[in-house]
Structure 1
Amino acid sequence: MILNRRLGEGETADERTAEAAIRRVPQWQDRLHDVSYGMLVGGLNNRNWRISVAGDTRDYFLKVPGAGTEIFIDRAASNEAAVNAHRLGIAPEVIFYAPEDGTEVHEFLDGYLTCTTADFARPEIRADVIGLFRTLHSGPRLSLVKTIFDLIDEHLEQARTLQSDMPGDLGWLLHHYERIRAAMLASGLDLVTCYNDPMPGNFLIAPGRPMRLIDYEFASTNERSYDIGVFACEMFLDDDETEALIEAYFGRVTPQMIARVNLNRILADLKWGSWAVVNRKLSDWDFDFQKYGLWKYMRGKAMMRDPRFADWLRRA
């Protein structure tokens, strides 16, 4: 991309906001005349920028949080997760974090490309993802404890407050949601730091270099198997591919973990469906959040009607 602006040249509101953020970074205070920047494509909720500082051997990534994102994102927890992930060797270094508004600067991983859904059709790429999850889960627990049930409940309350347009069979969905909650809590949750948001673009790959994981906005202390379930859900994996993830993570496949991962696939659709219908009331992005959310609910409903659903509940 072209870094086509220097400080003082900003013309749009976004560019002026980026310049104000750049001026706040302590490491750059004596070098502001050496800074150039350009906007990166992507990001549903934030404005992202690539920063170059003349004489530095690396570039930087600047994230300016979007207005209203605090309803979904605990920025302090996001920063804590990113710092921990860098210490674990799976994420870029955090250069600057502003607790008052969540502005972040990280090192830019030059030479890496963002994954696409097609990349996850490759078993070796999926194995790398499981390796990242195992490393992240092995690290310190985040201060923020939000299980998948906490996350769904929070979105449902937001939807009620905002009077979001919910599916007509919401009562049926919530009845079975409570059955899942009861089954999993009966055997207990295995709480670790979870990533929670496996969008393809958050996984970075480069030839001959280890995969990296970026953007910890939705990370929390959560049920271990949720990361496997939500990843299998988002990547449309079949039963054999999902069981291969379980084996790669745990070393073996058990009926209980098959059940928990499949129930977490359902929970992932309820979570992101609820997130989307709430976002429909908040976002001005050119994206049909409502359609996306209702599709998520429909897919979750389809799995609730799977003949194996009762067995998953029993074994969870």
Structure 2
Amino acid sequence: MSDTASSKQVEDAIAAVPGWDRTKVTKRPLVGGLLNSNWLVHHAGTDYFLKVFGVGSDSFVDRKLANEAASKANAIGITPRVEFFSLEKGVEVIEFLHGYRASTNADFSRKDFLSSVIDLYRKFNACERLSVTKDVFAMTDEHIEQGEALGAIRPADFELLSYQYNRAKAAFVAAGLDLVPCHNDAMPGNFMVKMSEQNQIVDMKMIDFEFASNNERAYEIGIFLGEVFVDEETTLELIEQYYGTVRQDLVARVWVARAVADMKWGSWAVQQRQMSNWDFDYQKYGIWKYARARKLFDDPRWNDWLRHI
């Protein structure tokens, strides 16, 4: 998306927000975001975060569902309020979180950051179900099909990766999916944190519900633990914090879901490479995700995990 197109959409959005006076609005672009164009907008003494939806993102983002999930999360106090949402204009205006910053990979070397995210997941996963169920297997299958249609470039051993992925899918389907509202996007930057002068967490909120749906509970945890590179001891501690126990079947579900998450995001990235104009190496990211999935498929415990699900 060009800067000109983004600016025009912002102007259209500003004109559409009820009660806003365009003559009292200032705006500037914000850095970050792989799908959308983000802006800081100031109106009548108040700052807002404005998101312009990325071109082509509607092919894999259900914007109405994302808005529904964000509304549920705001109702329980774990995400900022959506002030304005318009599919027609391709934008949303969100409460700006003053005093908060985006978490980083480095932050998640701290147990308090890890624990705070697990608490957020427990709260959101306990909400009433969303209107749409789309589990990780449906997502992954969709991305694979999209990639095939777009001519995505995949690893030479993709057939073997797919075989193990389908074994994981069969194991979960046979055992039964534990479907709950899930955020489904564990990037560190999706957790906004307010810190004290003593560098302690005062509050944390979850943002960006574009991939939200009813999904397998273990996937929510598995993708997060993989994204922040926790070791096995910490993995067990966080599983216990989330579930209240460390049963063999729960541990197996989280580890297998973690591998499936890498297949999902690898397949998303290589097809995104074929359609996105953003300056980001989606192909490199996707091949890296496939490599992470391969490592878990090759783990000597893989077959045991599948059996214990």
- Using the size of structure 1 for normalisation, the TM-score is 0.93
2:31 is aligned to 41
Report the Cα offset of residue 150 of structure 1: 0.3
1:214 is aligned to 207
Which of 282, 288, 300 is residue 293 of structure 2 equivalent to? Answer: 300
Q: SS in structure 2 opposite 1:104?
A: strand
Q: SS in structure 2 opposite 1:52?
A: strand
Structure 2 CA distance for aligned equivalents of residues 274 and 12 of structure 1: 31
Structure 1 CA distance for aligned equivalents of residues 62 and 170 of structure 2: 27
Structure 1 CA distance for aligned equivalents of residues 214 and 114 of structure 2: 23
* Cα deviation code 1:148-201 (max 9, x no counterpart): 000000001101111111211111111111111111111111100001101111
Report the Cα offset of residue 252 of structure 1: 1.4
Q: SS in structure 2 opposite 1:211?
A: strand
Aligned pairs (5 A) from 1:249-264: 249-264=242-257
1:286 is aligned to 279
Specify every segment of 5 or more residues in structure 2 that has no aligned partner in the other structure, as ranges. Answer: 197-201
Which of 133, 144, 161 is residue 145 of structure 1 equivalent to? Answer: 133
Whether 2:42 is the aligned partner of 1:52: answer yes
Residue 283 of structure 1 aligns to which amino acid in structure 2?
S
Report the Cα offset of residue 81 of structure 1: 0.5
Give the aligned CA root-mean-square deviation in angstroms: 1.2
1:241 is aligned to 234
Instruction: Specify which structure has the bigger relative contact order, considering alpha-carbon pairs within 8 angstroms and separated by 6 or more residues.
Output: 2
Aligned pairs (5 A) from 1:14-93: 14-28=6-20, 31-55=21-45, 58-93=46-81
1:192 is aligned to 180
2:151 is aligned to 163
Whether 2:191 is the aligned partner of 1:203: answer yes
Structure 2 CA distance for aligned equivalents of residues 39 and 243 of structure 1: 41
Which of 104, 121, 127 is residue 109 of structure 2 equivalent to? Answer: 121
**8 Å Cα contact 1:85/1:136 also seen in 2:** yes
Report the Cα offset of residue 48 of structure 1: 0.6
* Cα deviation code 1:80-117 (max 9, x no counterpart): 00111000110001111113354111100011010000
Worse-superposed segment, 98-107 or 297-306: 98-107
Residue 54 of structure 1 aligns to which amino acid in structure 2?
A
CA pair 102-143 structure 1, distance change in 2 beyond 3 A: farther
Report the Cα offset of residue 54 of structure 1: 2.2
**8 Å Cα contact 1:76/1:102 also seen in 2:** no
Specify every segment of 5 or more residues in structure 1 that has no aligned partner in the other structure, as ranges. Answer: 1-10
- Using the size of structure 2 for normalisation, the TM-score is 0.95
**8 Å Cα contact 1:277/1:293 also seen in 2:** yes
Whether 2:82 is the aligned partner of 1:94: answer yes
Structure 1 CA distance for aligned equivalents of residues 292 and 207 of structure 2: 27
Structure 2 CA distance for aligned equivalents of residues 50 and 17 of structure 1: 14
Structure 2 CA distance for aligned equivalents of residues 259 and 27 of structure 1: 52
Q: SS in structure 1 opposite 2:12?
A: helix
1:275 is aligned to 268
Structure 1 CA distance for aligned equivalents of residues 290 and 68 of structure 2: 31
Structure 2 CA distance for aligned equivalents of residues 204 and 132 of structure 1: 11
**8 Å Cα contact 1:148/1:271 also seen in 2:** yes
2:199 is aligned to none
Report the Cα offset of residue 258 of structure 1: 0.8
What is the number of equivalent residue pairs in this alignment?
302
Structure 1 CA distance for aligned equivalents of residues 285 and 22 of structure 2: 42
Identity %: 49
Q: SS in structure 1 opposite 2:204?
A: strand
Report the Cα offset of residue 233 of structure 1: 0.8
CA pair 102-18 structure 1, distance change in 2 beyond 3 A: closer
Report the Cα offset of residue 72 of structure 1: 1.5
**8 Å Cα contact 2:134/2:213 also seen in 1:** yes
**8 Å Cα contact 1:75/1:102 also seen in 2:** no
Report the Cα offset of residue 256 of structure 1: 0.7
